[in-house]
């Protein structure tokens, strides 16, 4: 999953995911580890 952090669109990071995580996220169920990882980037 590619996420933007800070105010600059050039600040991007990839958070690894499994296919099951991706399919769950398309239905609005984001894995807790994604949320924690994005919180660490901000």
Pick from 2-6, 16-20, 38-42 the range whose average pLDDT is largest: 16-20
Check whether 35 has a pLDDT greater than 80.
Answer: yes
**pLDDT: which is higher, 16 or 20:** 20
Q: How far apart are CA 17 and CA 2, in angstroms?
A: 10
Q: Between 30 and 2, name the one with better pLDDT.
A: 30
Among 41, 11, 17, CA closest to 31: 17
Asked if residues 14 and 2 have their Cβ atoms less than 8 Å apart, the reply is yes
Q: H helices of the chain, where?
A: 19-25, 32-41
Q: At 5, is the pLDDT very low, low, confident or very high (cuts 50, 70, 90)?
A: low
């Amino acid at each position: 999953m590619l996420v933007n952090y800070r105010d600059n669109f050039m600040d991007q990071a990839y958070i690894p995911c499994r296919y099951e995580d991706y399919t769950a996220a398309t239905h609005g169920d984001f894995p807790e580890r994604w949320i924690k990882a994005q919180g660490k980037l901000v």
